[in-house]
Structure 1
Amino acid sequence: MQKKLHHKFQTKLISYDQFMEYKLYDENDGYYSENNQELWGTDYMTSPMIHPAFGFLIAKYIYAVWISMNSPSTFSLIEIGGGNLNLTNDIFEGIQDLSPKFADLLNIVVIDRNFNNNLPRHKNIKLINSDNFNLKNITGVIISNELFDALPFKRLINKNDRFYEIFVNYCNDFQEQE
């Protein structure tokens, strides 16, 4: 990994967001890559992993929104950062229980960067890579769970009333550096 990062960035200093982008999303070595699926859900848990009740409560809300809009004949649920589809599947099952009619017309789109296309899902659920995201004129609801936790970000430090960006340095090991 260290050699790949060194080669990839051709410098000893890498901005923190670039480092995290690589560590999270590299096609082969990133945390969210298909090569590391065995790690998913082993180092942390989110509400959809604990119990389907979370998804059912969201399903009730989405159903109420559809009813409040006079039950349009086309309606979409878009989940940004849907990952392993736990939440999406729980929501869809909840909607099927609430209203089979609504479940039949519901168009579900899950947008994420890395998908395992073998994930079990209903035929109404479409997967879109975030690089190809271009949806327009949608009637429906957009949701996201834990998305901001998975975004690379800049890190700053304040010293003597001045802000400095934190970089990652490689010298036999990774170190933070101002």
Structure 2
Amino acid sequence: MDQPDDNRLRGIILNRIREQGRIPFADFMAMCLYEPGLGYYTSPGRKVGAEGDFYTSINVHSVFGRLIAREICRMWEEMGRPASFDIVEAGAGHGRLATDVIDAIQELNPTLYDGIRLTLIEAEPSLAAVQGELLAPHLPKVSWSTPADLAEGRLRFTGCLYSNELIDSFPPHLVEMGPEGLREVFVAAEGDQFSEILDLPSTPELEAYLSRLGITFAVGQRAEINLNAVRWLESVATALERGFVLTIDYGYLAPELYGPMRLNGTLLCYYRHTIEENPYIRIGLQDMTTHVDFTTLAARGEELGLRKVWYGEQYRFLVATGMMEELMALEAAATSEKEQIAIRLALKKLILPEGGMGDTFKVLVQAKGVENPRLLCMRDWGKLF
């Protein structure tokens, strides 16, 4: 695998460490991903799809966005069909998913479409132009915001905030259980390279996080604790006046995420569709991700007034929200058997386990100020077939 030039950001991070001393891995990953103009997510360039470093469900088929749109339509109905309804996408990327969602709502529910206000939150400023081109027919309804607007309380909305593969990119603290107790991974400078140091945790929040979960690691076990995910959820709970939070990402409940089978945690990097385990190369040029702890998102959400409505695998969510109906409509509209086969293969990838996205990805739906909603994803499976 080639080693592209990462000297500029590498030098900036090394100099900061030399000046300030070692830093928690979370700070290192934050600079790699979000350093203004140089981080993986804050620099120009296509990150997703064939020309990028990884695929998401968005790249598979527009049906993914249509099914989210179907659920948003139901959310609007469960909220009493308000005249105005905010849809917020956090981590909007190139705007493909937002376009698929709002296109579908315009077709499926013109009344809801009339009252929609769409807000896109994205860390990379240059993507606004690309988003604007895709969303050109809907531009009067579109506005742009930043992660800082959400984090600092400048955003307020009533409706639905959704995200797809966002939380996995939030920088976590790395910890490892030593013979004498929990230790944190710090990043130090060693010449023009990075090295790791294990020492006492930088914050008592790390041990408190594990204590709340009742998790105990084996000696030598390494794991990630994502305090940034919790802080993000706290910001969302503050910003949401009434409505829903829909989170789609890869992850597990805590007992599985932190189980003894994961002695090395879940941290991985992606570069040109190849998995890389070393986070200290291609600085700012490769994606870095970790699996989401859905137990903590749900539990902290309850404390913040975000009641868990539904949690499950992506395939269950997609089938319950209308995947089979969408498949039949697409096949009926296909002009050839070859096109029908291509449609089936694409949609299978969204729902199949073992190589597909069906069980790797999970969906968490939380509600605030909406009593006993009956969403599509909650439908009885026995009545869907």
**Is the TM value for this pair above 0.5?**
yes
1:29-69 per-position Cα deviation (integer Å, ceiling 9, x unaligned)? 2001233x134442111111211111100100111121233
Which residue in 2 is equivalent to 1:132? 149
Query: Is 1:160 equivalent to 2:168 in the alignment?
Result: no
1:50-69 map, 5 Å:
50-69=60-79
Query: Is 1:102 equivalent to 2:112 in the alignment?
Result: yes
Query: Is 1:175 equivalent to 2:198 in the alignment?
Result: no
Contact 1:6 1:12 (8 Å CA) reproduced: no
Within 1, Cα distance between the matches of 2:94 and 2:146? 13
Structure 1 runs not aligned, ≥5 long: none
Radius of gyration: which is bigger?
A: 2
What letter is aligned with 1:129?
T
Which residue in 2 is equivalent to 1:2? 10
Query: Is 1:32 equivalent to 2:52 in the alignment?
Result: no
Within 2, Cα distance between the matches of 1:161 and 1:81? 40
Structure 2 runs not aligned, ≥5 long: 1-8, 199-385
1:75-107 per-position Cα deviation (integer Å, ceiling 9, x unaligned)? 111122222222111110110110223212111
Within 2, Cα distance between the matches of 1:105 and 1:74? 4
Could you tell me how far 1:155 is from its partner in structure 2? 0.4
Question: Using CA pairs below 8 Å that are at least 6 residues apart, which structure has the higher relative contact order?
Answer: 1
CA 1:50–1:161 in structure 2 vs 1: closer, same or farther (change >3 Å)? farther
Query: Is 1:70 equivalent to 2:89 in the alignment?
Result: no
Q: CA RMSD in A?
A: 1.8
Within 2, Cα distance between the matches of 1:2 and 1:144? 30
Of 165, 169, 172, which residue of structure 2 is paired with 1:146?
Answer: 165
Contact 2:149 2:155 (8 Å CA) reproduced: no
CA 1:149–1:3 in structure 2 vs 1: closer, same or farther (change >3 Å)? same
What letter is aligned with 1:30?
G
Percent same amino acid among aligned pairs?
Answer: 28
What letter is aligned with 1:38?
R
Within 2, Cα distance between the matches of 1:158 and 1:13? 19
Q: TM-score, normalised by structure 1?
A: 0.89
Could you tell me how far 1:114 is from its partner in structure 2? 2.1
Q: TM-score, normalised by structure 2?
A: 0.43
Query: Is 1:93 equivalent to 2:112 in the alignment?
Result: no
Which residue in 1 is equivalent to 2:91? 81
Within 2, Cα distance between the matches of 1:39 and 1:77? 24
Which residue in 1 is equivalent to 2:29? 20
